[in-house]
Amino acid sequence: MAASSIDSITTRRELALHYHELASPDQLTPAERQVWEAARAATAHSYAPYSHFHVGAALLLADGSLVQGTNQENAAYPSGLCAERTALFGLAGNRPGPPPLIVGMAVAGRPAQGEFGPALPCGACRQVMLEYEVRQGQPIWLLLPSVSGTVLRFERLADLLPFHFSADALPPQA
Protein backbone atom coordinates (compact mmCIF):
# COMPACT_ATOMS: atom_id res chain seq x y z
CA MET A 1 0.00 0.00 0.00
CA ALA A 2 1.46 3.38 -0.97
CA ALA A 3 2.06 6.01 1.71
CA SER A 4 -0.65 8.26 0.29
CA SER A 5 -3.18 5.42 0.64
CA ILE A 6 -2.20 4.85 4.29
CA ASP A 7 -2.50 8.56 5.03
CA SER A 8 -6.09 8.61 3.78
CA ILE A 9 -7.22 5.86 6.20
CA THR A 10 -5.18 6.67 9.33
CA THR A 11 -4.78 9.48 11.79
CA ARG A 12 -1.22 10.55 12.44
CA ARG A 13 -0.42 11.14 16.10
CA GLU A 14 2.71 12.33 17.84
CA LEU A 15 4.08 11.49 21.23
CA ALA A 16 6.14 13.89 23.35
CA LEU A 17 8.53 12.71 26.03
CA HIS A 18 9.21 15.05 28.93
CA TYR A 19 12.39 15.00 31.00
CA HIS A 20 15.10 17.34 32.25
CA GLU A 21 18.75 16.94 31.34
CA LEU A 22 21.18 18.10 34.01
CA ALA A 23 24.79 18.72 33.05
CA SER A 24 26.06 16.98 36.19
CA PRO A 25 24.92 15.46 39.50
CA ASP A 26 26.00 18.74 41.14
CA GLN A 27 22.68 20.17 39.92
CA LEU A 28 20.61 17.67 41.92
CA THR A 29 18.65 18.73 44.99
CA PRO A 30 19.88 17.31 48.32
CA ALA A 31 17.15 14.62 48.29
CA GLU A 32 17.92 13.70 44.69
CA ARG A 33 21.64 13.58 45.46
CA GLN A 34 20.96 11.21 48.37
CA VAL A 35 19.07 8.69 46.21
CA TRP A 36 21.60 9.12 43.35
CA GLU A 37 24.49 8.25 45.67
CA ALA A 38 22.54 5.36 47.24
CA ALA A 39 22.01 3.81 43.78
CA ARG A 40 25.72 4.12 43.03
CA ALA A 41 26.67 2.62 46.40
CA ALA A 42 24.32 -0.32 45.83
CA THR A 43 26.35 -1.45 42.82
CA ALA A 44 28.97 -2.76 45.28
CA HIS A 45 26.49 -5.44 46.36
CA SER A 46 25.36 -6.64 42.94
CA TYR A 47 25.98 -10.20 41.81
CA ALA A 48 27.12 -9.96 38.19
CA PRO A 49 29.61 -12.78 37.48
CA TYR A 50 28.38 -13.23 33.89
CA SER A 51 27.79 -9.75 32.49
CA HIS A 52 30.32 -8.04 34.80
CA PHE A 53 27.96 -5.05 34.74
CA HIS A 54 26.95 -3.97 38.24
CA VAL A 55 23.64 -2.15 38.59
CA GLY A 56 22.17 -0.50 41.66
CA ALA A 57 18.81 1.11 42.23
CA ALA A 58 17.58 3.20 45.13
CA LEU A 59 14.10 4.26 46.16
CA LEU A 60 13.41 7.37 48.24
CA LEU A 61 10.34 6.87 50.40
CA ALA A 62 8.03 9.61 51.67
CA ASP A 63 9.36 9.14 55.21
CA GLY A 64 12.89 9.93 53.96
CA SER A 65 14.19 6.37 54.16
CA LEU A 66 16.00 4.65 51.32
CA VAL A 67 15.61 1.16 49.88
CA GLN A 68 18.31 -0.28 47.63
CA GLY A 69 18.32 -3.08 45.09
CA THR A 70 20.98 -4.68 42.90
CA ASN A 71 21.07 -6.85 39.84
CA GLN A 72 21.30 -10.55 40.69
CA GLU A 73 22.49 -12.81 37.89
CA ASN A 74 22.24 -16.57 37.58
CA ALA A 75 23.89 -19.15 35.33
CA ALA A 76 20.39 -19.89 34.05
CA TYR A 77 20.17 -16.37 32.57
CA PRO A 78 16.41 -15.83 32.69
CA SER A 79 16.50 -16.55 36.41
CA GLY A 80 18.34 -13.34 37.27
CA LEU A 81 16.68 -10.08 38.23
CA CYS A 82 17.42 -6.42 37.60
CA ALA A 83 18.26 -3.90 40.33
CA GLU A 84 15.07 -1.89 39.81
CA ARG A 85 12.85 -4.91 40.42
CA THR A 86 14.83 -6.19 43.42
CA ALA A 87 14.40 -2.77 45.07
CA LEU A 88 10.66 -2.59 44.35
CA PHE A 89 9.88 -6.22 45.13
CA GLY A 90 12.01 -6.07 48.28
CA LEU A 91 10.13 -2.98 49.43
CA ALA A 92 6.75 -4.61 48.93
CA GLY A 93 7.78 -8.04 50.21
CA ASN A 94 9.36 -6.97 53.48
CA ARG A 95 6.67 -4.77 54.98
CA PRO A 96 3.13 -5.60 56.06
CA GLY A 97 0.28 -3.85 54.28
CA PRO A 98 0.54 -1.78 51.13
CA PRO A 99 3.98 -0.56 50.05
CA PRO A 100 4.92 2.85 51.44
CA LEU A 101 4.78 5.89 49.19
CA ILE A 102 7.78 6.11 46.82
CA VAL A 103 8.83 9.68 46.06
CA GLY A 104 11.79 9.10 43.76
CA MET A 105 14.14 6.56 42.31
CA ALA A 106 17.63 6.41 40.81
CA VAL A 107 19.55 3.80 38.82
CA ALA A 108 23.33 3.48 38.46
CA GLY A 109 25.55 1.07 36.55
CA ARG A 110 29.22 0.34 36.08
CA PRO A 111 31.41 -2.39 34.63
CA ALA A 112 33.34 -4.51 37.15
CA GLN A 113 36.52 -2.62 36.30
CA GLY A 114 35.50 0.85 35.26
CA GLU A 115 33.63 4.06 35.81
CA PHE A 116 29.90 4.63 36.17
CA GLY A 117 28.09 5.03 32.87
CA PRO A 118 24.64 4.78 31.33
CA ALA A 119 22.19 2.45 33.04
CA LEU A 120 18.76 2.60 31.47
CA PRO A 121 15.96 0.31 32.71
CA CYS A 122 14.93 -2.59 30.49
CA GLY A 123 11.35 -2.94 29.28
CA ALA A 124 10.36 -5.39 32.02
CA CYS A 125 11.66 -3.02 34.69
CA ARG A 126 9.86 -0.07 33.12
CA GLN A 127 6.60 -2.04 33.23
CA VAL A 128 7.07 -2.99 36.89
CA MET A 129 8.18 0.53 37.87
CA LEU A 130 5.16 2.03 36.20
CA GLU A 131 2.77 -0.36 37.93
CA TYR A 132 4.10 0.83 41.31
CA GLU A 133 3.48 4.42 40.25
CA VAL A 134 -0.07 3.54 39.16
CA ARG A 135 -0.69 1.59 42.39
CA GLN A 136 0.26 4.50 44.58
CA GLY A 137 -1.63 7.06 42.49
CA GLN A 138 1.21 9.59 42.61
CA PRO A 139 4.17 10.20 40.31
CA ILE A 140 7.62 8.83 41.10
CA TRP A 141 10.54 10.88 39.77
CA LEU A 142 13.47 9.01 38.28
CA LEU A 143 17.16 9.84 37.83
CA LEU A 144 19.16 8.04 35.15
CA PRO A 145 22.74 8.46 33.95
CA SER A 146 22.74 9.09 30.21
CA VAL A 147 25.06 7.89 27.47
CA SER A 148 26.55 11.40 27.20
CA GLY A 149 27.33 11.63 30.94
CA THR A 150 24.47 13.92 31.88
CA VAL A 151 21.70 13.13 34.36
CA LEU A 152 18.21 12.54 33.00
CA ARG A 153 15.40 13.47 35.39
CA PHE A 154 11.92 12.18 34.64
CA GLU A 155 9.06 13.73 36.63
CA ARG A 156 7.02 10.53 36.36
CA LEU A 157 7.69 6.96 35.35
CA ALA A 158 4.81 6.99 32.85
CA ASP A 159 7.04 9.00 30.51
CA LEU A 160 9.34 5.96 30.16
CA LEU A 161 6.63 3.65 28.90
CA PRO A 162 3.76 5.53 27.25
CA PHE A 163 2.09 2.46 25.69
CA HIS A 164 2.20 0.19 28.70
CA PHE A 165 0.23 -2.89 29.58
CA SER A 166 -2.19 -2.31 32.45
CA ALA A 167 -4.92 -3.98 34.43
CA ASP A 168 -7.40 -2.25 32.12
CA ALA A 169 -6.34 -4.68 29.38
CA LEU A 170 -7.22 -7.72 31.50
CA PRO A 171 -10.64 -9.40 31.27
CA PRO A 172 -13.05 -8.57 34.09
CA GLN A 173 -12.80 -10.85 37.12
CA ALA A 174 -15.84 -12.97 37.93
In terms of Cβ atoms closer than 10 Å to its own Cβ (0-12, 13-18, 19+), residue 19 is middle
CA nearest 102: which of 69, 64, 154? Answer: 64
Catalytic residue of the set 32, 73, 84, 133: 84
Whether 84 is catalytic is: yes
* Per-residue three-class SS string for the chain: CCHHHHHHHCCCCCCCCCCEEECCHHHCCHHHHHHHHHHHHHHHHCECCCCCEEEEEEEEECCCCEEEEECECCCCHHHCECHHHHHHHHHHHCCCCCCCCEEEEEEEEEECCCCCECCCCCHHHHHHHHHHHHHHCCCCEEEEECCCCCEEEECCHHHHCCCCCCHHHCCCCC
Residues designated as active site: 84
